[in-house]
Structures are given as structure tokens and as C-alpha cells.
């Protein structure tokens, strides 16, 4: 119960003021965000602000059901950060080292969807360089294959990589844009679906002022 109130306070007193006042967050297509789970929200990833921005957009009444998928080796390495991440941000820890034979890396995500939760996933896998979008990995497509009726909603984020780049701790007041699209239809194939998700996220930023560069690799 205390964690629930902490999340509400975080959203009301910190997340939303930072997102909408300090960063001047602009949002297009907010009505496309899932109102309830099970659901998956995907976005490009340049900054820790990405998670905070997405959480600030979710309905307050759904915060208990919103689970940002995050790397356990990073967010659980420090007891203070681990407590905050688990009890306030409500992350779903992903063990990137659990690659042993028979291990199911999707088990926790699948269980969350079974509970009717909303997953926030960054398919690039980790934060890239500021405003550079990398290739998507296939984990979400594998979940979609198991749960074809669960909507996967794409979001394009711009500016967060400039406001708080990877490795920095000082917030720079840069305007952040979020564009929310409609769910990406299942293609019937993991590889083509992964590409469809990436194309969908990229296309959402096509009409924004160009500060976002394609991956040159």
C-alpha cells in the first residue's frame, strides 16, 4: 500500500512537473496509450528520462499496473536504487545474465501480461547515443507471438537524449516531444514484426523538427 502512495506522489509532485514544466513535454496521440492491460508500450531509448516521461503520461489510476522493463544488473546493483526502482518506479527487472539452458527470458514479462499489467519496453535493449536510434531486438516480437491479442503501442521520444544524455547527471532544460501511434498489427513472423515496430516508431517522428539521426551502423 505504501508503494502505491509513493508512486502517486512521485507522479503528482515530481514526474509530471518535471515532464511538463521543466522539459516542456509536448504530446501527440496521447489518446492512443492503453487505458488498461494487458498491453505493451514500446519506445526508442536515449535517456533515463524516457521511462519517467512515459510514466508521466499514464493515468494515475493505472500506475500500479505499469511495469517498465529494466535491466536488473543496473537497477538492482545498489540497495537504494533497487528499493526506489522496485517500489516507486515499479520496474520489472530483466536478468540479462540469465541465458542458461532452459531459462525463459520472457517468463517475467509473460507473467506480467497474464496479470493484466502494462509493460514499457525499449526494444533497442539499452540507451543509445543522444538522439540516435538503433536497431530493435526481438524480445517484444516473441511476446507478441505468445499473446497476439495484446496491443503493442509505439511511442517516439525526442529530446530526452539531449536533456539527460547517457552518463550525465545534470538535467538540461530541453523540450521533449512524445508522439504516440496506434498499435502495431501482428505480422505472423517475429523478424518482420520487429522491423514493423521499428519502422512504426521511426515514422512517428518523421514530421518533428529534425534533431534525431538514424543509426549509422
Cα–Cα distance for residue pair 162/174, rounded to 1 Å: 7
Cα–Cα distance for residue pair 115/179, rounded to 1 Å: 27
Average pLDDT, the chain: 84
Reported confidence tier of residue 106, pLDDT bands at 50, 70, 90: confident
Among positive and negative, which fits the CA dihedral 168, 172, 135, 53? positive
By C-alpha distance, which of 71, 43, 62 is closest to 161?
A: 43
Could you tell me how many helices (H) and strands (E) the chain has, helices first? Answer: 9, 9
The residue with cell 549509422 is 216
**Is residue 139 very low, low, confident or very high in pLDDT (cuts 50, 70, 90)?**
very high
pLDDT greater than 50 at residue 50? yes
| Domains with residue ranges and CATH for the chain | 2-209 (3.40.1130.10)
pLDDT tier at 112, thresholds 50, 70, 90: very high
- Residue 109 is predicted with a pLDDT of 93
Residue 201 parent element (H or E)? helix 190-204
Q: How confident is the model at residue 99 (pLDDT cuts 50, 70, 90)?
A: low
- Residue 1 pLDDT greater than 70, yes or no: no
Amino acid at each position: 500500500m505504501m508503494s502505491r502512495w509513493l508512486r502517486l506522489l512521485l507522479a503528482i509532485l515530481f514526474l509530471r512537473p518535471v515532464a511538463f514544466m521543466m522539459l516542456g513535454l509536448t504530446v501527440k496521440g496521447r489518446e492512443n496509450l492503453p487505458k488498461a492491460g494487458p498491453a505493451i508500450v514500446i519506445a526508442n531509448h536515449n535517456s533515463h528520462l524516457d521511462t519517467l516521461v512515459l510514466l508521466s503520461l499514464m493515468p494515475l489510476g493505472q500506475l500500479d499496473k505499469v511495469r517498465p522493463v529494466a535491466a536488473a544488473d543496473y537497477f538492482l546493483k545498489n540497495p537504494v536504487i533497487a528499493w526506489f526502482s522496485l517500489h516507486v518506479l515499479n520496474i520489472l527487472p530483466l536478468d540479462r545474465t540469465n541465458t542458461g539452458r532452459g531459462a525463459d527470458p520472457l517468463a517475467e514479462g509473460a507473467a506480467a501480461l497474464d496479470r493484466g499489467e502494462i509493460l514499457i519496453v525499449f526494444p533497442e535493449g539499452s540507451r543509445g547515443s543522444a538522439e540516435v536510434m538503433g536497431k530493435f531486438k526481438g524480445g517484444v516480437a516473441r511476446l507478441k507471438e505468445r499473446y497476439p491479442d495484446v496491443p503493442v503501442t509505439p511511442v517516439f521520444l525526442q529530446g530526452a537524449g539531449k536533456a539527460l544524455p547517457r552518463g550525465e547527471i545534470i538535467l538540461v532544460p530541453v523540450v521533449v516531444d512524445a508522439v504516440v501511434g496506434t498499435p502495431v498489427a501482428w505480422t505472423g513472423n517475429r523478424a518482420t514484426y520487429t522491423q514493423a515496430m521499428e519502422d512504426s516508431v521511426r515514422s512517428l517522428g518523421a514530421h518533428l523538427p529534425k534533431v534525431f539521426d538514424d543509426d549509422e551502423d
